[in-house]
């Protein structure tokens, strides 16, 4: 006679197996990651650098008839970089860029600014601002301006590592707010003076679906009102909006720091143009998109 309320001898193992199977379906527990956003270098380190920046701008003004302006320019910079000196943070203060190539492309024109054997030295101050030296002296002002404007996109020398650092270990799927002051400085380095944000700036940690399975920090900075550098005095803005978004893709092995950084700055401005004191004004509008991509790879330590 079977007693009531008693499980059969094989019931407990069956329940245990079912429970273990359910746990297995949940997968391994997520681990918190300590993000390394700024690689540390030493004198003698060699890395390859590739920077690509594309600006696509369209502007129009209506003064009796509609005048339009459109320009699309892509700059490509590549070099093999030898680290000569670093500061206490492991950030290079002197580098030798060899085998430099800098090409430009417009819809109706393309060309190269340097010969294949071009080499120069880059020196940075404590704020990351670069100066160019070649053949024992300072490079020509126009060449220095073009190259340093490109080099300021280089992620590790700006406020990017401090801006996107969560300040704590984070798991894949976690989001965190970005410091508004640092976000303003980050946008200012790209030519946009933020007056107000339309929403909080945030970053999110994701898993790279591509080979290697590294980590990706995806960020978004919504800007509700901004001004731009070198604005003409007769231009007055009535409305402006911008969105700055991008990714920092980290390698599967943490030692190398960021290997790919990308940003996309899309902006629009509307306003009127007219001389001070004049009652006659005309509407104008600007639409622009700036795309930047950086790839670095450590080749010798």
Which H or E element spans position 261?
Answer: strand 260-273
3-state secondary structure of 44: coil
Please give the pLDDT value at position 234.
Answer: 67
* Entry pTM: 0.80
- Give the pLDDT confidence score for residue 206 in this predicted structure: 93
What integer pLDDT is reported at residue 253 of this predicted model?
Answer: 66
Residue range 66-114, pLDDT digits in tens? 678 889 999 999 999 999 999 998 999 999 999 999 999 999 999 998 8
Could you tell me which residues come within 8 angstroms of residue 92 by beta carbon, excluding any fewer than 6 positions away?
Answer: 41, 81, 83, 84, 85, 86, 124
Tokens of 290: 């700036």
CA separation for the pair 101, 96 (Å, rounded): 14
**Rounded to the nearest 10 degrees, how much is the dihedral formed by the CA atoms of 241, 55, 83, 254?**
60
Question: Given this model, what pLDDT does residue 20 score?
Answer: 44
User: Which structure tokens are listed for 32?
Assistant: 């918190």
Instruction: Chunk the chain into consecutive blocks of 10 residues (it has 301) and report each block's average pLDDT, rounded to whole numbers.
Output: 45 49 48 84 94 93 74 94 94 94 92 86 88 90 90 88 94 96 93 94 90 84 87 76 94 67 93 70 89 91 79
Which H or E run includes 34? none
Q: Where are the domains of the chain?
A: 34-300
* Residues paired with 53 in a beta bridge: 75, 292
Look-up of token digits 């700059």: 75
The tokens describing 192, both together, are 């946009």
Residues 6 or more apart whose CB falls under 8 angstroms from that of 112 comprise 101, 102, 103, 104
Which pLDDT score, from 0 to 100, does residue 149 have? 87
Strands (E), 164-274: 175-177, 192-197, 202-207, 215-228, 235-249, 260-273
* Contact indicator for 294, 260 with CB cutoff of 8 Å: yes
Instruction: Give the HSE-up count for residue 174: Cα atoms under 13 Å, Cβ half-sphere.
Output: 18
3-state secondary structure at position 162:
helix
Using only C-alpha atoms, what is the Rg of the chain? Answer: 26
How do beta strands 260-273 and 215-228 pair? unpaired
Q: How many CA atoms lie within 13 A of 78 on its CB side?
A: 13
120 close to 80: Cβ distance less than 8 angstroms = no
pLDDT for res 174: 96
Pick the CATH number of 34-300 from 2.40.128, 2.30.230, 2.30.29, 1.10.3470: 2.30.230
List Cα–Cα distances, 268 to 58, 163, 286, in angstroms: 10, 24, 6
């Amino acid at each position: 006679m079977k007693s009531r309320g008693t499980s059969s001898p094989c019931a407990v193992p069956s329940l245990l197996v079912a429970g273990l199977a359910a746990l297995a379906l949940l997968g391994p527990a997520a681990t918190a990651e300590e993000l390394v956003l700024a690689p540390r270098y030493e004198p003698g380190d060699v890395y390859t650098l590739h920077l690509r920046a594309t600006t696509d701008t369209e502007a129009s003004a209506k003064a009796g008839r509609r005048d339009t302006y459109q320009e699309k320019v892509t700059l490509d910079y590549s070099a093999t970089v030898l680290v000569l000196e670093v500061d206490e943070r492991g950030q290079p203060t002197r580098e030798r860029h060899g085998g430099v190539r800098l090409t430009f492309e417009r819809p109706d024109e393309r060309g190269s600014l340097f010969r294949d054997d071009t080499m120069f030295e880059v020196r940075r101050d404590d704020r990351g601002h670069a100066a160019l030296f070649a053949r024992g002296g300072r490079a020509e002002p126009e060449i220095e301006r073009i190259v340093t404007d490109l080099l300021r996109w280089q992620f590790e020398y700006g406020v990017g590592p401090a801006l996107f650092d969560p300040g704590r270990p984070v798991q894949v799927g976690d989001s965190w707010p970005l410091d508004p002051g640092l976000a303003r400085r980050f946008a200012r380095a790209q030519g946009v003076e933020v007056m107000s944000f339309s929403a909080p700036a945030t970053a999110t940690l994701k898993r790279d679906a591509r080979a290697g399975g590294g980590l990706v920090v995806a960020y978004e900075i919504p800007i509700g009102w901004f001004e731009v550098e070198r604005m003409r005095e007769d231009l007055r803005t009535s409305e402006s909006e911008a969105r700055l978004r991008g990714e920092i893709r980290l390698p599967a092995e943490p030692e190398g720091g960021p290997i790919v950084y990308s940003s996309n700055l899309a902006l629009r401005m509307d306003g009127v143009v007219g001389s001070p004191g004049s009652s006659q004004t005309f509407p104008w509008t600007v639409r622009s998109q700036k795309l930047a991509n950086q790839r670095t790879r450590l080749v010798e330590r």
